[in-house]
Each structure stands twice: as structure tokens, then as C-alpha cells.
Structure 1
């Protein structure tokens, strides 16, 4: 603990206090020896950065608990599962910077439940750069992150239904396999994009 405190630039008493508040995970123990590693150091740096940004220790503790109970990145992305999305690795403070004061424990929990976020050691992994950038852009437009995530939950439900519909359409044909489904993915995306575009056209027309 003394070495960890020295490298982090804080006192042993502070490290012990953070440990008691469950702000950092417990060390790995071998007999009476407690081993702290780079994960603990990264968490201490995160705590310092979040404190500088005005977060309270209670809020940081809630965030830490959410991170520690979040899904592992391998579970989130799926081992060997095909995907066109590019995951993004973020530190907790980088995530806070993207969404300002709206990176609250409640919003983080909602993002974890959606499967948008996973954990990998001291890092957070967002499953999709496109979704991350879009969410941040909507927040910059003044839409609360909580509303963005609530809408995302509804979009997920509709998207799952559309994916199931397209899957049944393809695989119902004789001799079709999941390889055909993967090959025809761009067609499904084109249909959905066109239909959403036309739906927005119809909605805008009704507002005139």
C-alpha cells in the first residue's frame, strides 16, 4: 500500500480511506501480503480526475460500483461474433468529459443495462463509436442524456424486431444459411435507413 500511495502521489491514509469506502477494489492477497497493481493505480488517478471535475466521493463510489459490476468487455462484444461496429476504449474521466455533468450513476447504469458499456480492467469500453458519437452529439444539442438513453432502449426493441423479421425472411428460403444472412446485411440496413428517412419526411410534412 505504501508503494501504491507513493506512485499515486497521495498518503497511505488516503488509500486506506478509499479502500474502506470501496472506491478501489481489494488487493490480491498471498498470505499476509496484499498486492496492488496498475488497475488500482488507474482507479486512483480516475478518482483524482473526477474530484477535480467536481464529482463527490459518494458519486464516485456509485460510479465505481457500477464499473465493478458492469459486464466484461468479452461478454459485451461477444467472442467471435460478427460486428460492423467499432468499440471505443475510454477512461471514466474521458467518459465524464464527453457528457459533462450528465455522466451520472443513473445514466451509467442505464447504459450498462443497454449493453452500450462494458469494463476491461481500469477502462470502459463503449460497444459502438457511432452510437457514442451520436449520443454525445444529441447531448450537445441540449437533449438530456437520460432521454437519449430512454429513446435508445425503445430503438433497441424496434431494431431487434426488424432484425428478427429480416432473419426469418432470409432463412425461410430453401438452402439459405447464416452466411447468406451476413452477406445480405447491407440490404437490411438500406431498407431501414430508407424507411426511417421517409418516415421523417412524412412527419415533417404533417407539421407544415
Structure 2
């Protein structure tokens, strides 16, 4: 039973129709609603109906799940999106959030973690990996994060654990500042002009692809910039 929205010609869906379109069970849909991941339904008498914005929010939730976000992280991300955000705004959010996320979580038990590391890790080493942000522990499972392989190799270098911690703190501090500045440039130069003009679904999909390419190019630029800065430091020291 679909009816037309008062605002446009888009059909409003029943909970069963929305769940089917989103590829969810009705029970899961109601659970997401209870978490505040989708706004309240539109009421037509005793019938609860849902519009395109509800479907777009559910699409964003599913995309974040596919990219390895935990439900806690998804809840926080969705809470930051204004209730007034339209379908296009949600498409932008999806492009931004998913393009910078890993492809999916790798969940390992303790034995599998040692296999993944290629060595038997002691508890102190595991704690150091967690502390430096390259390993996440949830209950009795572990998920390697970007930088895990490099940190495993670093364990074989004769550097005290405190030195590794200090280096990790310095990287996190400067990368945080760089990320804030790049995000502001992205907002002003890419996202705000995109929002200013109505877009089709096809154009929204192209934005998602563009953001993925931008991610790869940005990572290359950061590495290249660090190499140039390192060369400059070496040159100054030789002089």
C-alpha cells in the first residue's frame, strides 16, 4: 500500500515495503528506528508511512556496515547528521563516510591474530598495538586496523616501547591537524558546490566514485609530501 507524499510525487511506504526495499527484516528496521537511526514515521491515521529520506538513511546505515563500522560508530555518525538532511545531503554523507573507511572489518580470535601477525604476540605487545591505534579489541576478538603490518615489523626493531608510543602520538597529532584542514578544504571546494545544485541519483553515485579516487590520491599526496619534507630535513642537516 503506497501513497503519495504531500511534498512530492514520491510514494510513501509501509514498514513492510520499506524493509523489503532496504533488504532488512521489519524487526531490524524497528530496532534501527528505536536507536534513532531513522526519523519517526509519517502518520496517516493509524498507519505508519516512510518516505525517500527514510530509505536514504537506511541505505547509509547499510553502507557503513558494509565498510566495517560498528553499530556504536554508526549511531554516532548518524547522530551528527541533521534531522532536516534531505536525500541529496545523505548521498553526500554516504560518499564522504564510506570513501574513507576500510573495506570491511577483519574479526580474529587470539590464535588467528598470531597467524595474521606471523608470530606469537605476547600480551604486552598486543597491549602496545591497541594503545598505538593499529589494533582494536572487542571482547575476545581483535580487528587489525591500518598500520598493523608496519607496527608488527616495528616490534623487531630495537626501539623501546615508550619510543614507539611517542612516535605514534606525534603521528596521530599531526595527522589529526592535517585531516581537519583537508576536510575543511573538501567541504568548501567540493561538498558545498555539490549541495548548491539539485543532483540526480546517477550524479550522486558519481560523487561516491570521485570521493574514492580522491581518497587514494590524497594518501599518495601525504606520502609524497612526507618524503619531500624528509629530504629537506636531510639536506639541511648535511649543510
TM-score (norm 1): 0.48
